[in-house]
Amino acid sequence: MTDATAATPKRFLAERLGRFVALNWQRATIGIGTIALAVAGAPELFGRTDGVEYSYFDRWGWPQFVFLGGFLALLVGGIAHLKIRPTYGDLLAERDQAVSTANDRANALESVLRAIITDLTDALNLSVSSARASVYCFSDNGFVLLSRVSRNPEWKKRGRASYPADQGLISKAWRDSSAVLVDLPANRDDWEAQLADLGFSSEVAERLSMQARSLVAIRVDALMGSEKLPVGVLVLESEGARGVNGATLDRLLKQRTWGILQNAMANARKHFPAVANTLVRNPPPAE
């Protein structure tokens, strides 16, 4: 009896083999032809001991048939290789173009979101060197930074390529829709101990450059009729113990720009997996 689990790998292998043959038969034919010519020529080079000179085709044996077969294979494979379109070069050019387009789209989305959150931070009086705002999308069980603004060039830098779904205030906001954390310690060791409670390992906490002592995180939802589809998280951070706080969240929810950010992210959500992959592989240059 053949069950489905046994048939699936076989079909998978058959498909892979079929695709390989379809893509590589010209090269395989050229290779076989070359080997055949080499094999056919071997007796001519090494096997002749009788000292009699005669044309290669004076007598017909296996070397001559192999030679003819190899020659034909080389001819067919070579012509097919020259005629087939798109060429490998064409495919490489297309791939480069696709990568370039993906980068352009990711950068365009990043710059739109940057403009929106810049406006938002201005409205919330957070355009100061001690604060920053970041917007993340959710992709492949983690968060990928889409855009970040800060007056401080150090805080603006992109850190990790992606952030685990179960770490930090971002994960709480993703689960509960919003979260506020204030009064984190000024003492670095105490601060890192608090981060351990948020799921950060001591190694990761040590490496964090910005010692944010207050944070506000809010989930960005796409409205699908009466349902909300979570698409990302906006995180506001400050070095001040109460630089951002509950009042910041109240003011944020009343901002028109907050609605614009939600709409922009809702409309772009289908592109987030591709954009996230592009941003992880090829982070945009700092502003």
Partner 1 sequence: MKVRVSSQFKVSGTSDLDSQTDALYVALIELERSETDLTEGDVTASLGSRLVGISLVIDATSWEQAEARAREVIQHAIVMIGDQVLIAEGAGVAPTSDAPVADIQSIELIPA
Q: Of 37 and 217, which has the nearer Cβ to partner 1? A: 217
Query: From CA 70, how far away is CA 199, in angstroms rounded?
Result: 65
C-beta neighbour count of 38 within 10 angstroms: 13
Q: Which residues bind partner 1 (CB under 8 A)?
A: 172, 176-187, 190, 193-194, 197, 213, 241, 245-247, 249-250
Please provide residue 212's backbone torsions phi and psi, each rounded to the nearest 5 degrees.
-70, 125
Q: How far is the CB of 197 from partner 1 (least distance, A)?
A: 8
Q: Of 94 and 190, which has the nearer Cβ to partner 1? A: 190
C-beta neighbour count of 242 within 10 angstroms: 13
CB 262 within 8 A of CB 220: yes
Q: How far is the CB of 133 from partner 1 (least distance, A)?
A: 17
Q: How far is the CB of 155 from partner 1 (least distance, A)?
A: 20
CB 220 within 8 A of CB 184: no
Q: How far is the CB of 93 from partner 1 (least distance, A)?
A: 51
Query: From CA 252, how far away is CA 237, in angstroms rounded?
Result: 13
Structure tokens at 235: 């995180």
Q: Of 98 and 253, which has the nearer Cβ to partner 1? A: 253
Q: Of 134 and 245, which has the nearer Cβ to partner 1? A: 245
